[in-house]
Chain A
């Protein structure tokens, strides 16, 4: 018997959240979407832009979720209460991108997902779905085995969590490339070799291998 798919809570209904939520709904995941406010405020967005997802209060969505996807602007991350995320697998799809969004002092030192993980000390954080543009993420998704399928990075310190998120990335339409730590996931950040381009598996692996930013 097939195990049921994980329940997803996508936090954020801006550029990125709805795209990830749509892809996850298409892949068969039960998906809740939430913002910092009343689900009624995103009911219309959900109905028309993310049909099949449930708009919920963030606390309810998180409580029922196996995987929580953070798709909020990074400067709002400080508003997130870490406690309800304890024990959860958290996918960090956010980026620290000062050239586009301004400088944030707490993120000036190190990889952004490592800093996120430090604050969410009770969660297992995996970096993924951050490096392909929201305008391309859905269009470039392909089923497994498609000749023009592209790759997406999945980085984390916990191999089981990385495997779960790699499964998610695979089901929504990308060949997952596992990176052995959040630190190694720095290669997926703005300024890195795969940020903003959509590469096939061999090119992606080569670009990641040649990069040394996780060593700095």
Chain B
């Protein structure tokens, strides 16, 4: 079995060592450095998730990925995720097939909504139309990916009649995944469209997703498709010791959740729930390389998944802390997980 290991970021706004927030511009330059360093540390994939907020100033991750592509040779580069519902599938295809060209075939796309809702009002979409937007646009995206002229008609964008969409890819479709956060019907959709499955597990016990992984493979059979890989995306933070990782991450995580809680109207989680999430049965990978490696290995096995993407960082962490996280993930966690799984 071949396993691959990625890092994802939302462009979490950095702070300086004294707690002063870094500018959006500096944060974006730091993300480019982090992507280049991820390759040097031995990471297989670097993903950037689309967000439009003050604390995740990352609406155009593909531009940053292009900068990383120009300075790297091996690491695969993709979105994590692209909010397809509020974008134009033709433009998404064009941006990522351009990235694919620049990087010599290293582009990937993960489609989904993520927790991102800001793009809907920003671009004039209604959240109540989310399902229809995603279904139609994902179906069109699957058509575009095949290459060749596309004929398509729907309600969410103008029709295409025998349209050649450029740039053509050199060697067939690039990998596309659908991010799923707990809706089994989204698992069926990924199988139906022939996209791989990205399980976004950001809270609660990861092993509850085992049924989703089985559901995906059974649905692929039903649609007459070959097996496709499953990836697990979860947040975390790695430092030299468990104590240090938790001490760095908890206040930043609490701040972020409190901010989102205030925006969206849910109650703020307790330290107890943080401890449960960072424990062996929770969704957060916070700790020393050994702690995090064991948890990754356990969950990849439990979920029959072959890729793990750690969403690293949190608004308010420093660039240095993130570089240490990347180094420990690449040089210690990944080899250790491969060991544990062999």
User: CB within 8 Å of B: which residues of A?
Assistant: 13-15, 18, 41-42, 44-45, 48-49, 73, 75, 97, 99-102, 104, 133-136, 138-139, 190-198
Query: Once A and B bind, how many residue pairs between them come within 8 Å at the CB atom?
Result: 84
Known: A102-B127, A136-B203. Contact between A45 and B264, CB under 8 A?
A: no
Asked whether B18 is an interface residue with its Cβ less than 8 Å from the other chain, the reply is: no
Contact A48 B215, beta carbon cutoff 8 Å = yes
**Inter-chain contact B204/A139, CB cutoff 8 Å:** yes
Q: Does B175 sit within 8 A of A, measured CB to CB?
A: no
Q: Which one, A75, A97, A134, contacts B182 given CB within 8 A?
A: A134
Is A139 in contact with B212, judged by CB distance below 8 angstroms? no
Instruction: Tell me how far the C-beta of B279 lies from the nearest C-beta in chain A, rounded to whole angstroms.
Output: 12
Chain B residues whose C-beta falls within 8 Å of the C-beta of A15 in the assembled complex: 181-183
Residues of A within 8 A of B185 (CB): 13-14, 42, 45
Contacting residues, chain B, for A139 (C-beta < 8 A): 204-205, 208
Q: Determine whether the beta carbon of B215 is less than 8 Å from that of A49.
A: yes
Q: List 11 A-B contacts (CB under 8 A).
A: A13-B184, A41-B188, A45-B188, A49-B212, A99-B117, A100-B117, A100-B127, A101-B127, A135-B203, A190-B265, A196-B266
B25 at the interface (CB under 8 A from A): no
A138-B208, A196-B269 given; name 6 further pairs at CB < 8 Å.
Answer: A14-B183, A44-B188, A49-B211, A99-B117, A135-B182, A196-B261
Complex CA gap A83/B267 in Å reads 36
Closest A residue by C-beta to B212: A49
Chain B residues, CB < 8 A from A73: 131
Most buried by A among B205, B212, B261, B265: B265
CA distance A133 to B208 in the complex (A): 14
Instruction: Name B184's closest neighbour in chain A (CB-CB).
Output: A45
Task: Report the minimal beta-carbon distance from A90 to chain B, rounded to whole angstroms.
Answer: 22
Determine the residue in chain A with the shortest Cβ distance to B201.
A135
| B214 at interface by CB-CB < 8 Å | yes
Q: Determine if B126 is an interface residue (Cβ-Cβ < 8 Å).
A: yes
B105-136 vs A: 1/0 string, CB under 8 Å? 00000000000010010000011101100000
Q: Which residues of B contact A42 (CB under 8 A)?
A: 185
| 10 nearest CB pairs, A to B | A196-B266, A102-B127, A191-B265, A135-B204, A197-B267, A99-B264, A75-B128, A190-B265, A45-B184, A48-B215
> Is the pair B183, A44 in contact by a Cβ cutoff of 8 Å?
no
Within 8 Å of chain A (Cβ to Cβ): is B263? yes
Residue from B117, B181, B261, B266 having most chain A Cβ neighbours under 10 A: B266
**A198 proximity list for chain B (CB < 8 A):** 273
Contacts of B219 in A (CB 8 A): 44
Knowing A135-B203, A195-B267, A196-B267 are in contact, say whether A102-B211 is a contact too (CB < 8 A). no
A101 touches B181 (CB 8 A): no
Contacts of A136 in B (CB 8 A): 203-204
Q: Is B270 an interface residue (CB 8 A)?
A: yes
Query: CB-CB < 8 A to B128: which residues of A?
Result: 75, 101-102, 104
B254 within 8 A of A: no
* Contact (Cβ within 8 A) B265 A195: yes
- Could you tell me the distance between the alpha carbons of A121 and B129 in the complex, rounded to whole angstroms? 27
Which residues B33-82 have CB closer than 8 A to chain A?
A: none
Assess whether B183 is in contact with A193, with CB atoms less than 8 Å apart.
no
Are the C-beta atoms of A48 and B127 separated by less than 8 Å? no
Q: Are B218 and A44 in contact (CB under 8 A)?
A: yes
The distance from the CB of B3 to the nearest CB of chain A, in whole angstroms, is 24
CB atoms of B264 and A97 under 8 A apart: yes
B267 touches A102 (CB 8 A): no
For B268, give the chain A residue with the smallest CB separation.
Answer: A197
Q: Report chain A residues within 8 Å CB of B225.
A: none
A108 → chain B closest CB, angstroms? 13
| With known contacts A45-B188, A136-B203, A139-B208, A193–B182 Cβ distance under 8 A | no
